[in-house]
C-alpha cells in the first residue's frame, strides 16, 4: 500500500512538473519564437516558490529545459528568480548599462542585449520591458542601478 502511494505521488508530481514546463514554454514562444544567437532568459517566478518547479532547484536544469524547448540550441539559458527567496549566495545582479546582468548560471556578466526578462505567474508569461527597482523587489536579486531602464531584445 505504501509503495503504491509513493508511485502515485511521484506520478502526480511528474505530471505537475510537465504541465508547468509546458506553460512556461508556451508562454515564451510568442515572445521569442526562435533563438539563433546567445540568449539568456531571466524569469521572475511570481507566486511560484522555489521547489514547485523541480528544474528550477538546480542551477543548470532550467537551462537544459530551455535548450530542449528551443531545439537543443546550446546558447540559450534560463535563470528563474523566486519571490522571497534567494537561490544561492550569488544572486542575479542588475548592473550598469555597460555590465548587464550577473548570472549565477553562467557565472559571468551577460549584456542586456542578450537578456529577455519575463514574469511567470504560474499561468501566463509576460515580457518585462520597463525595469526598475520594484520590478524584481522581494526576489533576492541585487539592483544597484539608480535609474530604471527600458529593455528590448
Q: Is the pLDDT higher at 15 or at 95? A: 95
Domain range for 123: 2-150
Q: How many domains does the chain have?
A: 1
Q: What is the pLDDT of residue 86?
A: 58
Integer-rounded Cα Rg, in Å, for the chain is: 16
Sign of CA dihedral 139, 144, 150, 153: negative
End-to-end CA distance of the chain: 53
pLDDT one-digit tens code per residue, 51-101: 776 555 566 677 777 777 877 777 888 888 887 765 555 688 999 989 999
Q: What is the pLDDT of residue 31?
A: 85
Amino acid at each position: 500500500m505504501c509503495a503504491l502511494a509513493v508511485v502515485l505521488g511521484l506520478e502526480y508530481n511528474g505530471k505537475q512538473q510537465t504541465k508547468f514546463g509546458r506553460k512556461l514554454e508556451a508562454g515564451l514562444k510568442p515572445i521569442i519564437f526562435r533563438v539563433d544567437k546567445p540568449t539568456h532568459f531571466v524569469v521572475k517566478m511570481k507566486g511560484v516558490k522555489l521547489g514547485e518547479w523541480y528544474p528550477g532547484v538546480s542551477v543548470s536544469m532550467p537551462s537544459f529545459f530551455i535548450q530542449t524547448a528551443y531545439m537543443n540550441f546550446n546558447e540559450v539559458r534560463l535563470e528563474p528568480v523566486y519571490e522571497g527567496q534567494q537561490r544561492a549566495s550569488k544572486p542575479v545582479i542588475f548592473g550598469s548599462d555597460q555590465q548587464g546582468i550577473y548570472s549565477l548560471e553562467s557565472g559571468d556578466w551577460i549584456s542586456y542585449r542578450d537578456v529577455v526578462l519575463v514574469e511567470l505567474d504560474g499561468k501566463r508569461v509576460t515580457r518585462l520591458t520597463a525595469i526598475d527597482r520594484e520590478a524584481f523587489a522581494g526576489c533576492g536579486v541585487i539592483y544597484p542601478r539608480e535609474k530604471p531602464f527600458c529593455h528590448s531584445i
